[in-house]
Amino acid sequence: MFERSIPEWLRHPPAAAARKPGARAFATLSGVEAMIRGMLLSVFPLAMYRALGDAATVSLVYFVVGLISLCVGLLLPWINRFVPRRWLYSTGAVLYFFGCGFGALGGEYIVAALLCCTLATVTCFICLNAYVLDYVSKNDLGKTETLRMFYSALSWSAGPVTGVALLNIWAPAPFLVGMACAVVQLAVFWWLRLGNGRIIQKARGTAPNPLAFLGRFFVQPRLIAGWLFAVLRSCGWWGYIVYLPIYAIESGLPPSLGGLLVSLTNGFLFTTPLMLRWVQRHSVRAAVRTGFLFTTIGFLLASVSPVAPLTVAILFVASGFLVLLDVCGGLPFLMAVKPSERTEMAAVYSSFRDVSGIMTPGVGALILMVAPIQGIFAAVGFGLFGMYVLAARLHPRLGQARPRLA
């Protein structure tokens, strides 16, 4: 019934457009979405801080929004049984549009803006990762992820500093730009005609419980480890993107410093092809351990630094290794996903954003009751160290091509 009201040309793309989408198609879509997220990356923490007044309240709002987003993300595979994937992705783009609209209104509407944009992110992320797992072979996942980040590099680099500059000139400006980018995102998605992905017949019928796939996740140690890597990597970004700008303001540094640093950090995305070559020459295990080791050192040193500019500089260096983890940290999970569980496990994987979005501000709010913001940097550092230890259990040759027999 839902499909009958859709025109034929939308339901069935022409043969020329129905070819198998490649890495560049997914990279293009990621790049367009990055225009929205990059613009608002440093805007939201500042706008929230201005509207709500203190870091503890900001942490509480992020905590509640994270809980809601986690629940929605875990339910998306069940929703996908009734709503085709292309319409779910389109819903995500529409949520970006309305979220930016709420942000343009300012004041307490910033909370609704954050909620809409967070739900948009998790929806688009799950759908896009499901498309990638449908059409990209495991051996090409590293190339695809790197290309997605490379195509997004300009948006992530220029977006934060531009967003903060526009916010200081006229508060609604970055959100109005975000609304325009959401329209572009939706148009590009339908132009690419990704459809609903491949249909794979499962060995057993779909369980009536929409969260039944979580049981299959918890019995696969490789998936659990890969998911934990993503969660703690995201906690590192939370510490850098959300709490570093607030730390800068409370330390008497320029309010625009946070956005500038995030833009400079995202400039590392232009080096992701070189990072991928390094990963391929060594192994996923070596790259993951290297990333977690140096981010651990950076956050722990920042937590005890007595001088604010030194703290900022240390975290900036550590952020380069967070980018390395963005290149390789998701591969242990993506390489372990079974073809019949792509949509479900894409939802599980995407929950790392929400879990880190619950855990970091939740723990952060508790820490801020008894310690300054540098206490949050210490907590993040210890969490990253735990992942460095866990990564030692990865296979030494994970991600390396198998030698061909003569």
pLDDT in tens, the chain (406 residues): 444 444 443 444 444 344 567 778 888 888 889 999 988 988 998 899 889 888 778 888 988 998 999 889 888 888 888 899 999 999 999 999 999 999 999 988 999 999 999 999 999 988 888 888 788 777 677 778 778 888 888 888 888 888 989 998 999 999 999 999 999 999 999 988 877 665 433 444 444 455 667 788 888 888 999 999 999 999 999 999 888 888 988 888 887 787 788 888 888 888 888 888 888 888 899 999 999 999 999 999 999 999 999 999 999 999 999 999 988 888 888 888 877 777 778 778 888 888 888 888 889 888 988 999 999 999 999 999 999 999 999 887 775 555 554 4
- Distance, CA of 114 to CA of 108 (rounded, Å): 11
Is residue 138 a contact partner of residue 16, using CB atoms and an 8 Å limit? no
The per-residue pLDDT for 14 is 43
The per-residue pLDDT for 290 is 96
The per-residue pLDDT for 232 is 95
The gap between the terminal CA atoms of the chain, to the nearest Å, is: 56
Please give the backbone phi and psi of residue 336, each rounded to the nearest 5 degrees, phi first: -100, -5
- Distance, CA of 12 to CA of 141 (rounded, Å): 27
The per-residue pLDDT for 301 is 97
- Distance, CA of 69 to CA of 63 (rounded, Å): 10
The per-residue pLDDT for 367 is 92
Is residue 89 a contact partner of residue 187, using CB atoms and an 8 Å limit? no
SS (H, E, C) the chain: CCHHHCCHHHHCCCHHHCCCCCHHHHHHHHHHHHHHHHHHCCHHHHHHHHHHCCHHHHHHHHHHHHHHHHHHHHHHHHHCCCCCHHHHHHHHHHHHHHHHHHHHHCCCHHHHHHHHHHHHHHHHHHHHHHHHHHHCCHHHHHHHHHHHHHHHHHHHHHHHHHHHHHHHHCCCHHHHHHHHHHHHHHHHHHHHCCCCCCCCCCCCCCCCCCCCHHHHHHCCHHHHHHHHHHHHHHHHHHHHHHHHHHHHHHCCCCCCHHHHHHHHHHHHHHHHHHHHHHHHHCCHHHHHHHHHHHHHHHHHHHHHCCCHHHHHHHHHHHHHHHHHHHHHCCHHHHCCCCHHHHHHHHHHHHHHHHHHHHHHHHHHHHHHHHCCCHHHHHHHHHHHHHHHHHHHHCCCCCCCCCCCCC
The per-residue pLDDT for 400 is 59
- Distance, CA of 266 to CA of 279 (rounded, Å): 19
The encoded tokens of residue 332 equal 């242990």
Neighbour tally for 404: CB within 10 Å: 5
The per-residue pLDDT for 402 is 56
Length of the chain: 406
In terms of phi and psi (left: phi > 0; alpha: psi -120 to 50; beta: otherwise), the region of 338 is beta
Q: Structural domains in the chain?
A: 20-193+213-393 (1.20.1250.20)
Is residue 47 a contact partner of residue 167, using CB atoms and an 8 Å limit? yes
Residues 6+ apart with CB under 8 A from 25: 192, 194
Neighbour tally for 227: CB within 10 Å: 23
Is residue 96 a contact partner of residue 185, using CB atoms and an 8 Å limit? yes
Q: What is the CA radius of gyration of the chain?
A: 21
The per-residue pLDDT for 209 is 53
What is the torsion angle, in degrees rounded to the nearest 10, for the CA atoms of residue 209, residue 211, residue 217 and residue 223? 150
- Distance, CA of 267 to CA of 265 (rounded, Å): 5
- Distance set, CA 227 to CA 67, 100, 268, 304 (Å): 17, 30, 24, 29
The tokens 């391929």 sit on which residue?
A: 280
The per-residue pLDDT for 260 is 83
- Distance set, CA 367 to CA 124, 213, 301 (Å): 32, 34, 18
The per-residue pLDDT for 1 is 43
- Distance, CA of 88 to CA of 237 (rounded, Å): 27
